[in-house]
């Protein structure tokens, strides 16, 4: 049986619909509509994947007998036949256009008809003016698409930090088994937020390295030179280079660090300095664990307390809480507190288009702390977006500004924004700027944190949606170290009582 998730099913249905729409026959259009509504229905359906399999999708609205049979095949074989069939009719380069933000089936078809059949072609057509001349695009649209295409091209062959780090650590371990000590270098030695691969230095000769790695699962040799050995580990390009091992990670080795007066690396924040795991999600919104399980997860990792952070009502797609549900949520948390569990009541409250918040002040005041985040309206002008975030950061009941730039590494750029004006507002109002530790985000960027260190306080948060997600804290701490932060700069290094007093000075009288 193939390892297919519900998300995979929904994705396969939608992708098949997209390709059928690109192919665009009448019959295809009808099927595309059917697949799309099946995807929407399946996404919302309550039953677990096991129950769906058991019942062969009976009772799922919009999933008729034909689609149910195709989905059952997918569960058994790991292939969704309608998607494979449609994909045969659409060149791979054209399929790649779906990765560009702002392109749906209709526009992809128009581009394909105009001979623009790959992301590279799209970027070039945007630059040459060819794209702007195609009906339905225009100069502004062509410019935006050109940038989005360039973003996709830049992201190709790049990896997130955990992928490169895991490859580097696995190879390090295999080498250590043969008595070889290897140290991260290059982009990995600098813990870049995205990397082209992993590089390690060590002494000895490539024959010995190759021998030590010969049996390691996931390792493929590509090339052996006089001083180098390169290959791939778990898909990540990896190079071993002869050199001086033992220097280790260099926190201050980027151009941005030049000439700055930085703390002694021994004073920099470490994972064990984080006491409060703030901005976390639970089954109350789109997380997978109960509040009790999240508290246990936090304690198992050696941290002191959990700060909840489920979504507010505007994030309906993520099960955001209505005011009534928020009150029930707070009541459950107060109950857990009464049992002696180390938990604080917080919420991740949406920042609305005008910079106001998704709950009235009297409701926000019932929480122990508030994270305010943008989840919509990414297309605002830089001036409007900045004003919106400044207003939210200046709200007296906002404790932390969540993932301030909205970037998703290798997927999308952050929204247009004057980040310095926003951090200025954080400094003025005493709001902490989040360093979101999710490896897709790492937002705030460490470069901005470095520039504002000493003027703004920060909060390093996992934004975990599961117990396992709490482990992402290490990536946030890595970025904070690059930013030169010490525990004194980070509000969740405070113990629970001190954090509460910091977040709600009007309550504690400070
Ligand atoms: Zn968020
Ligand atoms: Zn969140």
Tell me the pLDDT tens digit for each residue of 195-232: 999 999 999 999 999 999 998 889 999 999 999 999 99
Domain covering 6-155: architecture? Orthogonal Bundle (1.10)
Q: Tell me 225's DSSP state.
A: -
Residue with tokens 């297919």: 4
| Model confidence, pTM | 0.86
- Return d(Cα 219, Cα 221) in angstroms, integer: 7
Nearest-ligand number for the alpha carbon of 376: 1
- Return d(Cα 192, Cα 478) in angstroms, integer: 9
* pLDDT tens per residue across span 128-159: 999 999 999 999 999 999 999 999 999 988 99
Task: Compute, in angstroms, the gap from residue 374 CA to the centroid of ligand 1.
Answer: 7
Tokens of 316: 């309906």
- Return d(Cα 431, Cα 349) in angstroms, integer: 14
Q: Do 159-242 and 264-508 show the same overall fold?
A: no
* pLDDT tens per residue across span 370-391: 999 999 999 899 999 999 999 9
Q: By percentage, how much of the chain surpasses pLDDT 70?
A: 98
Nearest-ligand number for the alpha carbon of 402: 1
- Return d(Cα 15, Cα 105) in angstroms, integer: 10
User: In sequence order, which residues have a C-beta less than 8 Å from that of residue 241 and are 6 or more positions away?
Assistant: 185, 199, 200, 201, 202, 227, 228
CATH class of 159-242: alpha beta
User: In sequence order, which residues have a C-beta less than 8 Å from that of residue 325 and are 6 or more positions away?
Assistant: 284
Q: Cis peptide before 444, with omega less than 30 degrees from 0?
A: yes
Residues having C-beta closer than 5 Å to ion ligand 2: 348, 463
Task: Compute, in angstroms, the gap from residue 65 CA to the centroid of ligand 2.
Answer: 38
* pLDDT tens per residue across span 274-284: 999 999 999 99
Nearest-ligand number for the alpha carbon of 403: 1
| Sign of the four-CA dihedral 307, 305, 441, 395 | positive
Task: Compute, in angstroms, the gap from residue 249 CA to the centroid of ligand 1.
Answer: 30
Task: Compute, in angstroms, the gap from residue 173 CA to the centroid of ligand 1.
Answer: 35
Task: Compute, in angstroms, the gap from residue 309 CA to the centroid of ligand 2.
Answer: 7
* pLDDT tens per residue across span 44-101: 887 888 899 999 999 899 999 999 999 999 999 999 999 999 999 999 999 999 999 8
Nearest-ligand number for the alpha carbon of 281: 2
- Return d(Cα 151, Cα 256) in angstroms, integer: 23
Residue with tokens 């009288």: 509
pLDDT on residue 46: 78
Give the three-class secondary structure for 80: coil
8 Å CB contact between 312 and 322: no
Task: Compute, in angstroms, the gap from residue 202 CA to the centroid of ligand 2.
Answer: 40
Provide the CA 368 distance to its chain's centre, in angstroms. Answer: 26
Pick the CATH number of 264-508 from 3.20.20.140, 3.50.50.60, 2.40.30.40, 3.40.50.20: 3.20.20.140
Residue with tokens 């857990």: 336
Nearest-ligand number for the alpha carbon of 461: 2
The per-residue DSSP string of 232-276 comes to EETTEEEEEEES-------TT-SGGGTT-----GGGS--GGG--E
- Return d(Cα 422, Cα 222) in angstroms, integer: 47
Residue 510 CB neighbour total at 10 angstroms: 9
Domain boundaries of the chain, sorted by first residue: 6-155, 159-242, 264-508
Task: Compute, in angstroms, the gap from residue 320 CA to the centroid of ligand 1.
Answer: 11
């Amino acid at each position: 049986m193939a390892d297919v998730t519900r998300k995979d099913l929904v994705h396969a249905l939608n992708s098949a619909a997209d390709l059928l729409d690109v192919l665009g026959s009448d019959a295809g259009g009808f099927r595309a509509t059917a697949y799309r509504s099946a995807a929407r229905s399946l996404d919302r359906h309550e039953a677990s994947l096991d129950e769906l399999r058991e019942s062969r999708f009976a009772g799922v609205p919009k999933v008729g007998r034909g689609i149910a049979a195709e989905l059952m095949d997918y569960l058994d074989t790991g292939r969704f036949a309608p998607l494979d069939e449609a994909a045969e009719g659409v060149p791979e380069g054209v399929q790649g256009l779906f990765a560009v933000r702002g392109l749906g089936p209709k526009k992809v078809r128009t581009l394909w008809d105009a001979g623009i059949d790959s992301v590279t072609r799209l970027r070039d057509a945007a630059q040459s003016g060819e794209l702007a001349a195609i009906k339905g695009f225009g100069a502004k649209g062509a410019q935006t698409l050109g940038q989005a295409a360039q973003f996709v091209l830049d992201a190709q062959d790049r990896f997130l930090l955990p992928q490169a780090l895991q490859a580097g650590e696995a190879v390090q371990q295999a080498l250590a088994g043969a008595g070889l000590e290897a140290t991260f270098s290059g982009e990995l030695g600098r813990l870049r937020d995205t990397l082209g691969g992993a590089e390690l230095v060590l002494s000895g000769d490539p024959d010995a390295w190759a021998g030590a790695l010969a049996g390691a699962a996931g390792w493929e040799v590509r090339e052996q030179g006089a001083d180098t050995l390169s290959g791939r580990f778990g898909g990540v390009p990896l190079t071993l280079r002869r050199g001086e091992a033992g220097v280790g990670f260099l926190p201050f080795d980027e151009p941005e660090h030049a000439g700055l007066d930085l703390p002694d690396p021994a004073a920099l924040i470490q994972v064990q300095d984080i006491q409060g795991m703030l901005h976390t999600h639970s089954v109350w919104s789109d997380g997978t664990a109960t509040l009790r399980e999240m508290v246990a997860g936090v304690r198992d990792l050696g941290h002191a307390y959990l700060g909840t952070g489920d979504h507010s009502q505007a994030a309906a797609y993520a099960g955001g809480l209505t005011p009534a549900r928020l009150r029930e949520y707070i009541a459950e948390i107060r109950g857990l507190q009464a049992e002696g569990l180390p938990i604080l009541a917080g919420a991740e409250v949406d920042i609305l288009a005008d910079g106001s918040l998704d709950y009235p002040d009297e409701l926000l005041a019932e929480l122990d702390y508030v994270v305010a985040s943008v989840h919509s309206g990414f297309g605002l002008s830089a001036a409007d977006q900045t004003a919106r975030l400044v207003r939210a950061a200046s709200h007296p009941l906002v404790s932390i500004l969540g993932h301030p730039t909205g970037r998703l590494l290798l997927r999308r750029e952050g929204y247009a924004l004057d980040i310095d004006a926003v951090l200025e507002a954080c400094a003025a109002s005493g709001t902490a700027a989040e360093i979101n530790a999710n490896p897709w985000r790492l937002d705030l960027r460490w470069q901005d944190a470095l520039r504002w260190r000493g003027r703004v306080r920060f909060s390093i948060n996992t934004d975990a949606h599961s117990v396992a997600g709490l482990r992402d804290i290490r990536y946030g701490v890595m970025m904070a170290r690059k930013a030169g932060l010490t525990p004194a700069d980070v509000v969740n290094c405070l113990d629970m009582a001190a954090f509460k007093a910091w977040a709600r000075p009007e309550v504690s009288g400070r």
